[in-house]
Amino acid sequence: MKLESLRSYLKEKAHVTEETPFGPQALVFKVAGKMFATVGWDADPLRVTLKCPPEKAEVLRELYAAIGPGYYMDKRHWNTVQLDGSIPKELVLEMIDESYTLVVRGLPKRTQKELGLA
C-alpha cells in the first residue's frame, strides 16, 4: 500500500483530521480529537500504528511478522503494521476500520450523537 492511498482511506472516514503533533515525520489521524492511526510516512517500509483489542492484537502479532506492538504506544492496545506487502490489503483496511470504530465507541455518547456517529 502506498502513502497516498493509505492517507486517502484514513481521511475518507467521517470527521477525521490529519495532524503532525509529534513532528513532520509522523502523520496522526484523529476523530473528534482522539487518535486512531499514526503513519510513519518516511519509514521504509511504510508503517501505520492502529488501535486493536488486546486479544486480537496478540493473535495478529503471532500470525504476521510485519505486525508488532505499537511503536511509542500502549503495547496492549496498539499494533504497528509494516506495509511491506506481506499482509493482505483487505486485512490492513479491516484493521484501520476497527481502529476507527474502537475510538468512536470510546467517545462520549453526546459527542457521537453530535457528529452523527451514534
Query: Which run of H or E residues covers position 91?
Result: helix 89-106
3-114 — its CATH code? 3.90.1150.30
How distant is the alpha carbon of residue 91 from its chain centre? 12
Domain boundaries, the chain: 3-114
Block residue for cell numbers 488486546: 54
- Amino acid at site 37: A
pTM: 0.93
pLDDT in tens, 11-49: 999 999 999 999 888 999 999 999 999 999 888 999 999
Instruction: Band the pLDDT of 59: cuts 50, 70, 90.
Output: very high
